[in-house]
A = this chain, B = another copy of it.
Amino acid sequence: MEKKTILVVDDELKIRILLKDFLEREGFSVIESQDGKHALETFRCRGKSIDLILLDVMLPEYDGWTVCREIRKISEVPIIMLSARSEDFDEVHGFEIGADDYVKKPVKPTVLIARINAFFRRIDKVKAESRVIAFDGLEIDDSSHTVKVDNEEIVLSPKEYTLLLILVENKGKVISREQLLNLVWGYDYYGGLRTVDTHINRLRIKLGKKGDSITTIRGFGYRFEG
């Protein structure tokens, strides 16, 4: 497995150095940011390659809460908040706005690294799980990337496959074209919404009669019936 990249956001140079040092010794690659604004810019620019964010709460130029909320609007990247504030209220708040963990300062590097490793161990496991979705004659095997309709394998392009997966994972729910662009194409894609239509169209054709399961919700998006 390739190196994981961690973005460390803290205004104190001493802490950044301490963490960078420990993390790199553990085999992680580290990017640093000294304030909220810079962190957001960094993430917008290289978000795709960042596997985890260590985010201090007390920051100049947008505090940690703001940074967390802004990032959550565009990404589900794991975020661990670091905070000197030890109130329960703050901790709960951190989780509510989308953080994955909340660690109280002073941070002990050994403990933090144990947490990070445990976290990656868990999400890698979830990712690696061979997931098979099957119902009503439709079968999607995520580990082999194969799709079958009535036991007949059909070949989908990458975009078509991901599109189908997202729709089926959220079956019964309407997903807007904007959401689909985010989820399938990535939050940093700025193409036209019509592109989604075209791909839906091709997907429907390839799915044959199962294509009817993709319902158009005029004005709102698409929904997979299930």
Contacts and interface: CB of A to CB of B under 8 A. Distances in A.
B169 A126 contact: yes
A130 interface: yes
Given A95-B115, A143-B172, A144-B223, 15 more contacts: A88-B108, A91-B111, A91-B114, A92-B110, A92-B114, A94-B114, A95-B114, A95-B117, A96-B114, A102-B115, A122-B123, A144-B172, A145-B217, A158-B218, A158-B220
A47 B123 CA distance: 20
A125 interface: yes
A169 B143 CA distance: 14
Interface string A86-118: 001001101110011110000010110011011
A170 interface: yes
Nearest to A223: B144
A106 to B, nearest CB: 11
B114 A174 contact: no
A130 B173 CA distance: 8
Contacts of A78: 122
Contacts of A95: 114-115, 117-118
* Copies of the chain in the assembly: 2
Nearest to A174: B145
A197 interface: no
Contact of A144 (B115, B118, B174, B218): B174
Interface centre among A96, A145, A158 (most CB of B within 10 A): A145
Contacts of A88: 108, 110-111
Contacts of A91: 111, 114
A151 interface: no
A219 interface: yes
A21 interface: no
A76 interface: yes
Interface in A139-170: 143-145, 157-158, 169-170
Nearest to A218: B158
A131 to B, nearest CB: 8
A125 to B, nearest CB: 6
